[in-house]
Structure 1
């Protein structure tokens, strides 16, 4: 009996020993798993449970111009937060803070009651406001440094640099295009929490991972940009225009030295401006280029050897019928050479060169110059313009496209294409970013000029350049673009705008432009000026050419480009007259300077009395048939059109209401 009891006791002891060993092994295994295998993840989980992380605004890198002048910087400013749990009286604190924060007391109190642990009162505050809040000595109020984007030059280069939002993420321009490069990593405000999830005092809070983004250096020169903006503003405001564009490029490299737009805006307060003012018209807006297109027509025809520089063309005394339509020149020209067609901007001469070139070769040449496709510049929102496929050209399209109607292009496309003529025939890719570097100035990426393709032989490019010099000398349509001390070359352009309501050409809205390069032999600058809807005159040679001259003169002096030897003083400039009245209606397209003495342009009789119409008829020597009585409501042909020998000319009147 005793033996069986002892035996059973020993069995129970062994079982207990096995149980304890098993439990020990399990506990040890679990401890090993938790403390060794899962250590890192559990530490992170513990930190997450015992810490509150408040994201702070990441710092952005600096945007520099080509001379390392800052165009966009991030400055440290204090952001104010509150810990309502640590505040004695929320209504009392709200009453003291409200006037400083420029908010109603009720709104501040509601904000404090919304989150007992942490709430932002105001981000990135002015130093004087920070000092005034600190002087209140309120419990539960703290400050932390955050970056705020600041543009030290205000409006200068605003459309290129762009702007950021509160986050701050890039919203436009370089700020948007290179946002991931410029934007640094987010900083964090870390607070400790107790077992009940309440924030512990923030004293000694740590800001983690607030790394600054990379810096971006642009090809823009701040001084040339300022010159371009100043002269563009002067041209637009002097001529009562709607808007304007000025571009300055290095023809040899494709580097954009200035990209100006009017109207302009201050990126520090971008939210105060309309979307129209924020738009970078240089790359987003396409327009009919008008007679500036004659540069590419002549270049293509010479390159294809369908014309020679010595060839002459009969310009039909200013009126030429083709494809069921009549093309007019501003003046009655007879025989003109190729150079004279450019100098006097003859539409008829251009149409005849276009016919000789043919639509296959003209279309191929224009696409080769980069029209109809985006240039690939490092900015968001670029338009490719509109160049219809040659299979969609009908009737008179070959002729009109030859002098820049029925096709649209951006300012950047035109300046880039003209640069190919200036540099000897190479189409360069335009670019704005020269270098990306770290905060210590070490280059991380450097951008070099890129040749897209050769489009002209050096001989053809040189021939066209010398022809374009004739445009800016005495007798040319671009005499106002002449630059003291330098030989320059260029072309005027005037084009009717399409009326969005009628989908036809507007009677009185024009785009006037001038594009050229200087000095002639070794061009340093390609400059384009576009004036949208000028009211004084619609001709590029009158309203845009003077701005070209002023920008070129100042930029060349700034760059210390030596003057050409033996240059005479530039010819006397033609001034823009007052808004054209019915006596000085504009011609259909650019072809020279209107002298106001011609009697073959149909005036605008809209709204005039019969007596006023008779007076203008007598002064202009026009034989017009008058229908009805009262005020003029309809006329044939339309205002601004040339009156042909066989045209029926009449004005219809209705009694005034």
Structure 2
């Protein structure tokens, strides 16, 4: 037994010794292998603990107007971030850090306490590079910086509703910044750096991929016209105590939007007290019943049927008519009126009788072809298409109301587009907020001769006595247009008795139309509310400035008759 016990004990000792030798041999071989044969593994593990990949921010594309004036540019800024865990060890330096960042010490301390277990927290963003470097020069452990870009808008509130703005992460949030965000954003790059154990960059290793800047965007708007429209619309709201307003100008030939302004406005460079509703581009988002501004299209629909001619006469006496339980009234009595007289007097009676005579189908077809109730195709965020009713069975009251601009809803842009069609020989071309080198193909809404006949009627509305649009006149130019006034819909149903929208839509110069414009004034509260009184003067002033700025030749200059003086005894002639 003793012999067997000694053999067993010696065998177990040998086995343990053998295992120990094998383990030592394995470790030795691994050390040799890692240092000699597989050196890249150790290098990779070391790099994993010190090499970092840092994104290179892409420069967002510039937005300009049609003449190259900058509307949105990006400037380099610095973001300061901190490692919450490391900053816990330097609490005594928090007040110094807060002072350098321009923050309240108590607020910063509270944030750092909450981020005690986080390795990343933004301490401040949007600092100038100089300010950011001053913070870094404090050499506070756990405080680092990132390169970023911040958007700046040189035109400020003047172009805010068109251009929009980006958020703190440089992502488009409104307007064209949002609509073309992917095009403008670009592609970030990446660089490889070495950092120490505190996360500080100690060496730039290499650029893995260069940042690709975003594409530039050249808008169709003309900043000169934008300033002009902005000023006149603002002054009108102040004069008449109005709640809000919009103004749109369109190039008749190309469909480019030359100006689009709204009131109230906001400053995209300072959005600390921004009210959400103020960012709304009313010209494309707010819908309204256009009132008498659609009467020219009812006239065009009547002419297109062949049953009506410009000299056709309608009896509008006694100035009111009943359709079912509804009573339609005229503001001014006109008696026997031809089609031009109906537009000049803005006769609801006359236009209703025309609409009832031709029926709903021609009326609906004309307005649908003109773009009412349809998307403009601009792709603007939040754009609304309005409503153009198409009942299976039309009531007489519905037909009459549609004829004088009630029962449908449009946007200011849609209305301006329709008037541009009148000025383009009855052809509708697609709208654009991007500058075009040439016009695109469109579709014929009405015969060119019908469009010319309607324009002559609109000219009489502005230039003939009693037309109601005399305040839209532009010295030296023939102008045509139509005013409108519509009651606002009440939230409790029906229409309000004391809240109106005032409109004016028109074109110039009529001998060769170049610009169509629409003015909308929402709830004027003093000095009147009729479109011819409130909106027409804004149209006239803006159109006069636009024609001059675009160097469009006058078409209504007085003709001077030159005569030679007769000199006695010299045989002069006259």
C-alpha deviation, 1:537, in angstroms: 1.4
Corresponding residue for residue 216 of structure 1:
217
Q: Is structure 2 residue 472 aligned with structure 1 residue 470?
A: no
Q: Is structure 2 residue 135 aligned with structure 1 residue 145?
A: no
| Residues 604-641 of structure 1: per-residue CA shift (max 9 Å, x gap) | xxxxxxxxxxxxxxxxxxxxxxxxxxxxxxxxxxxxxx
C-alpha deviation, 1:159, in angstroms: 0.6
Q: Is structure 2 residue 558 aligned with structure 1 residue 557?
A: no
Corresponding residue for residue 177 of structure 1:
179
| Mapped partners of 2:74, 2:42: distance in 1 | 37
Corresponding residue for residue 234 of structure 1:
235
What's the C-alpha RMSD, in Å, of the aligned pairs? 2.9
Indicate conservation of the 8 Å contact 1:246/1:259, yes or no: yes
The residue correspondences of 1:123-202 to structure 2 (distance < 5 A) are 123-126=125-128, 129-130=131-132, 132-133=134-135, 136=138, 138=140, 141-188=143-190, 190-192=192-194, 198-199=197-198, 201-202=200-201
Moved more, 524-533 or 452-461: 452-461
C-alpha deviation, 1:168, in angstroms: 1.4
| Mapped partners of 1:333, 1:143: distance in 2 | 75
The answer for unaligned runs of 5 or more in structure 2 is 1-29, 560-574
Indicate conservation of the 8 Å contact 2:70/2:154, yes or no: yes
Q: Is structure 2 residue 244 aligned with structure 1 residue 253?
A: no
Corresponding residue for residue 64 of structure 1:
64
Indicate conservation of the 8 Å contact 2:256/2:432, yes or no: yes
| Mapped partners of 1:378, 1:223: distance in 2 | 24
Corresponding residue for residue 346 of structure 1:
347
Corresponding residue for residue 500 of structure 2:
510
Could you say what secondary structure the match of 2:446 adopts? coil
Corresponding residue for residue 103 of structure 2:
103
Corresponding residue for residue 512 of structure 2:
522
TM-score by length of 2: 0.84
Indicate conservation of the 8 Å contact 2:195/2:202, yes or no: no
Aligned residues: 520
Cα separation, partners in 2 of 1:357 and 1:142, compared to 1, 3 Å: same
Corresponding residue for residue 413 of structure 2:
412
| Residues 201-226 of structure 1: per-residue CA shift (max 9 Å, x gap) | 31334675432111100001001011
The match for 2:441 among 430, 451, 461 is: 451
C-alpha deviation, 1:98, in angstroms: 0.8
| Residues 494-519 of structure 1: per-residue CA shift (max 9 Å, x gap) | 11111012x10111111100000000
C-alpha deviation, 1:120, in angstroms: 3.6
Indicate conservation of the 8 Å contact 1:192/1:199, yes or no: no
Corresponding residue for residue 628 of structure 1:
none
Cα separation, partners in 2 of 1:65 and 1:262, compared to 1, 3 Å: same
| Mapped partners of 1:301, 1:269: distance in 2 | 52
Could you say what secondary structure the match of 1:157 adopts? helix
The answer for unaligned runs of 5 or more in structure 1 is 1-26, 435-445, 569-657
| Mapped partners of 2:157, 2:308: distance in 1 | 47
